[in-house]
Amino acid sequence: MPNAKVLSEKQAIVADLTEKLKTAASGVLVDYKGITVAEDTALRAECRKNELDYAVVKNTLVRFAINNVGLEEMDSVLNGTTSLALSHGDPIAPMRVIAKFAKQFNGEKFTIKAGFMDGKVLSLDEIKALSDLPSKEVLQAQVLGTMLAPITSLAIVLKAIAEEKGGFVEAAPAEEAPAAE
């Protein structure tokens, strides 16, 4: 039986993990066995760049935390080495960053165990599909480009018509009203 100090420290860690899981938009559990320090450093730098919380976690402590937030379906993958990537902003970011590194290592040293989004556990196929989506900024730019396309096309057609007629058409001068005497 652990002493009271160790037990209270572990309870504090579980409470902190529970709070992070409750407020997270999404997260991914990863088996990181076999990556080098340099690879781990690169992964952590990419996580910071994308505003992700990334940490190595103990399976037993994560198990308590995921049970506290209702993600019991992920219980079965909590074995071996485990790390957790969480996002409180962009819900696709953890999937995109972790999947990129998993592809880089060919799924041998670094594999995705499970993931969740908005309180729902995702399958590995769903995580892969989400990781292939472009970032929020790219999607916004694509929508804006789609909205501007008709206006741009109209401007091009009007310019072509004007050039075909021999230059730009000037506005006809307004008729002057007779001067009042």
The per-residue pLDDT for range 3-53, each reduced to its tens digit, is 888 888 888 888 888 888 888 888 888 888 878 888 888 888 988 898 888
CA distances to 38, 108, 119, 134 from 34, in Å: 12, 8, 30, 29
- Give the residue extent of every domain in the chain: 4-133, 134-168
What's residue 171's pLDDT?
52
What's residue 5's pLDDT?
83
Residue type, 9: E
CA distances to 101, 153, 177 from 17, in Å: 24, 52, 80
Please determine, for residue 173, whether its predicted confidence score (pLDDT) is greater than 70.
no
Please determine, for residue 172, whether its predicted confidence score (pLDDT) is greater than 70.
no
Q: Taking Cα atoms as reference points, which of 55, 57, 97 lies closest to residue 74?
A: 57
* Mean pLDDT to the nearest integer, 126-139: 76
Whole-prediction pTM: 0.67
For residue 167, the tally of other CB atoms under 10 A from its CB is: 8
Residue 57: pLDDT band (50, 70, 90) is confident
What's residue 61's pLDDT?
87
Dihedral (CA of 146, 25, 87, 128) sign: negative
What homologous superfamily does CATH list for 4-133?
Ribosomal protein L10, N-terminal RNA-binding domain (3.30.70.1730)
